[in-house]
Structure 1
């Protein structure tokens, strides 16, 4: 044992070996024994609220393609984080989330700031939750947490660590391990799938978020082109896995049972790869599949395969499966290629005041750099975003996987920090609704402190437009709390240290957006817009 070697020093050495040297958090008193004398070779990313810390770490891990570490405060901080922890779980993001626990001597007496249900509190939204039985077990708990978080299906894990554990003497920990993060599909079953695909007269492909997370973008394009198959975007995607300007792309499937089935009419076989079958919301009754249509499903998540409402499934890494299928399926040259999807891109005959969302997106399409990444949490305008700002590169679109809001604003911070970590220079565009922006508005302070190249475009329509669309669909008139008057978003942004601008016209939006790209820091542009009825 080296002089003054403790659980804390041994754990920091292990974290270095695992490349977990960026810590996202908001410090509390039960974590200070871990954070004391914070090492110079580590980076602490301060979020002003724990939900923001989780979202930042989530996007950071997605961009860097390795686990990220989050440090939270006992039950209070862990509780604040849960909304975005759901998103990390649904998005298969490998996070190691730690929370401080009270002193072991005090825990039995239910002390102030103790967590009486430390291991069960974050369930079911973590893969594993544990509080070490002994202080000496803390490093090994981190090692196991790393392995569990990374192995497929990847996801967040949680460790509760009593505050007095960190100063306990410990000689060291020498059982550093590596684990695989991919499982190959059953090749025999995959050949059967390939035979069914080759025999299809009109196949449809649906590439979900798993494909882009696995690095399978190019393989997805190769498979679609070999088959000459129509490609659809899955309902409510949190990543995009196929170029949305490709001639074979037929647009989003929609969200409801009826909409999905209607869109797939005319296809005898649907191959869903790396997506749920399907993410439905809202409930609009219909046939789950058109008559005579069959479905094949490939995913690395056993639970996703199990709760699919129809279809035959294969478990395995989606990139590996797609690459194998490219060689196994017959060439589809004899098929009639799908007609390119009409892209009317209709705008009002004269500029609107306030602008419509299509006018906003049309303006952004004229000035968006080709390498820009989009983080979208403008939930009522998702269809217009795909139309005007299609995703054309791998790893350049991110959205929440949970359906909650409050993820997008801090997630843009995580994307930009992940780019900086990897030496990548590209602008990050946060497309945020005015209601969504309020959930995690404090995230822009972190962006400003790090001078991140983020341009937030906040659409100010003075309401929860998506909820009004649902109210109309669900025939629930008179729902309160759907209007948002009196928000001075530009002043809030300036108060957090960001550049800010308010615009009314497309020309001013283009001008301010272009200036923001060269500002060297974070900018919030508030655009007055008309409410947009969501395409459900």
Structure 2
């Protein structure tokens, strides 16, 4: 006997049409009416905590380039997920985040497990937050959520659905639509920007994460080479946008107002494409731009354009804008080529124990496959990672976009799941600090259950090294809670079903990393490292 047509069956048919057949979540009682008799052609990815669920979906959507679906439990699950929802918002990740709501008949009395003011809770970290006024509106709410999540600037949306809505009778939903996900720049303003770029004596290009998201690597390289311009990495970028071993790559721009201003000194024009102007942290006062330097910004995010402290902006898809500039700018072969980024790569001849971070990264550089993707949350060793493990391919570097930690462990799971779905075979390497690792350690369970080819390298320095660096910079001595003794990370990883090893030397690290690449499951390698101040 065929199942009667209900809100639930109609919504599942719509989700199939939209390609939303993977659901990330941690089930709760208010979600069970949606999840009951879970269809065989759907996949449920179980995370043991909602913060991990939303980050797995975040990374999955970033790799696939399509919206991903997350199912949370009422207000409690939404609350658990909020920290990593902030990261998805800043990364412009198209997510449809759903949460179960109590039975409509009970809501007037604010019952147990009700999502009080459900549409307010996830703001301001979603583009749209909605609870359908009628059960019959649920499928159309999903249709609008999908369109909003995907349209530029992409980002997460939130739907709260009362648990009794799913069984309401409903005919088929037929108003399936398609939407554009690229926005072309204004041709006249783009031409004016091109004229200013052509007239610059020593332009600098700053490429940001939007370039990677828009598949803009190849035109970005072509533009830099045509202009013969230095290329800088945008501050605190969650994705790499230019090959970091290219002769024109001049390194990261810096983190503070002073650092950015100092780095741009000597350039008469900075062209920032696909990035905010700028992500600053920590606060070190200085000039937003050095004297004699102008700035142009091209971004697909109107909020980023409005928030810029300096410069003129142009809205548009970064790849389309770069391709337009490539046709419009004059050849810059007469310009003096900038000096490439120095790579000192100094490693102690006989590394001490615990290992200095450069020795760890030097060892990894010898065994990392060229196609490996890096998910980074070793915040105190970002400089060493750039020096020894530069990103040279598009879509192969990911980090949190919000600055909050606890993102990378589940994000590696999302990357590996997306690769598997797309038929891509490449190692996923998580470079994680021991403090960061604890925030979402339960994500290892999902990695092990799906036997994902992830190699986590956990740098065990027994402290929150990045916070100690900030304490020195901000002159705040005596901050408590910055030391992390007595963590047995390998035992924790084994408890979640992973292969896990402790290593002490670079030889052991190289041997175990190579073995992990051949393993048919997730491996956690714990490396004792020497605490060092971060480069801020």
Band of TM-score, shorter chain: over 0.9
C-alpha deviation, 1:3, in angstroms: 5.4
Q: How many Å separate the matches in 2 of 1:484 and 1:339?
A: 41
Of stretches 331-340 and 475-484 in structure 1, the one that deviates more from structure 2 is 331-340
Equivalent positions of 1:457-536 (< 5 A) are 457-536=457-536
1:2-401 aligned at under 5 Å gives the runs 4-401=4-401
* Residues 474-504 of structure 1: per-residue CA shift (max 9 Å, x gap): 0000000000011000000000000000011
Q: Cα deviations across residues 34-63 of structure 1 (Å, max 9, x unaligned)?
A: 000000000000000000000000000000
2:159 partner SS: strand
Q: Scaled by the length of structure 2, what TM-score is found? A: 0.99
1: CA distance between counterparts of 2:486 and 2:107?
46
Tell me the alpha carbon deviations over residues 492-535 of structure 1, each in whole angstroms, 9 at most, x when there is no partner. 00000000000110000000000000001100000000012111
3-state DSSP of counterpart to 2:275: coil
Cα deviation, residue 346, structure 1: 1.2
**Structure 1 residue 350, shift from structure 2 partner:** 2.2
Aligned-partner SS, 2:44: strand
Shift of residue 176 of structure 1? 0.2
Q: CA deviation at 1:64?
A: 0.5
Structure 2 distance, partners of 1:328, 1:318, is 15
Q: Secondary structure at the match of 2:304?
A: helix
Shift of 1:18: 0.1
> 1:90 & 1:341 partners in 2: Cα distance?
28
- After TM superposition, the score normalised by the length of structure 1 is 0.99
After TM superposition, give the deviation of residue 342 of structure 1 in Å.
1.6
Equivalents in 2 of 1:386, 1:3: separation in Å? 55
Q: What secondary structure, in the 3-state scheme, does the structure 2 residue paired with 1:171 have?
A: coil
CA distance in 2, matches of 1:70, 1:51: 11
- Structure 2 distance, partners of 1:461, 1:227, is 43
Deviation at 1:259, TM superposition (A): 0.6
Distance 2:501 2:3 in 1: 56
- CA distance, structure 1, for counterparts of residue 168 and residue 9 of structure 2: 10
Matched, 1:435 2:435: yes
Residue of structure 1 in register with 2:424 after alignment: 424
SS for the counterpart of 1:120 is coil
Taking the aligned partners of 2:241 and 2:513, their CA distance within structure 1 comes to 27
Distance in structure 2 (CA, Å) of the matches to 1:216 and 1:456: 29
Give structure 1 stretches of 5+ with no counterpart. Answer: none
SS in 2 for 1:400: coil
- Structure 1 residue ranges (4+ consecutive) displaced by more than 4 angstroms after TM superposition: none
Please state how far the C-alpha of 1:340 moved relative to its aligned partner.
Answer: 1.8
Q: Take 2:341 and 2:387, find their aligned partners in 1: how far apart are those partners?
A: 11
Aligned residues: 535
User: Secondary structure of the equivalent of 2:431?
Assistant: strand
3-state SS in 2 of match to 1:75: helix
Quote the Cα distance in structure 2 between the aligned partners of 1:456 and 1:22.
Answer: 24
In 1, Cα distance between the equivalents of 2:206 and 2:355?
A: 33
Question: What's the counterpart of residue 410 of structure 1?
Answer: 410
1:118-159 C-alpha deviation (Å, 9 max, x unpaired):
000000000000000000000000000000000000000000
Find the aligned partners of 1:3 and 1:130 in 2 and give their Cα distance.
28
Alpha-carbon distance in structure 1 between the residues aligned to 2:31 and 2:341: 54
* Cα drift, residue 172 of structure 1: 1.1
The Cα shift of 1:349 comes to 3.5
Q: Secondary structure at the match of 2:468?
A: helix
Q: Deviations over 1:375-421 (max 9, x none)?
A: 00000011110000000000000000000000000000000000001
Aligned-partner SS, 1:98:
strand
Please give the alpha-carbon distance, in whole angstroms, between the structure 2 residues aligned to 1:526 and 1:42. 36
Whole-angstrom CA distance in 2 between matches of 1:19 and 1:224: 37
Q: Distance in 2 between matches of 1:281 and 1:379?
A: 13
Deviations 1:161-180 (A, max 9, x none): 00000000101100000000
Distance, in Å, in 1 between the alignment partners of 2:428 and 2:369 is: 10
Q: Cα RMSD between the aligned structures?
A: 0.6
Q: Distance in 2 between matches of 1:283 and 1:340?
A: 28
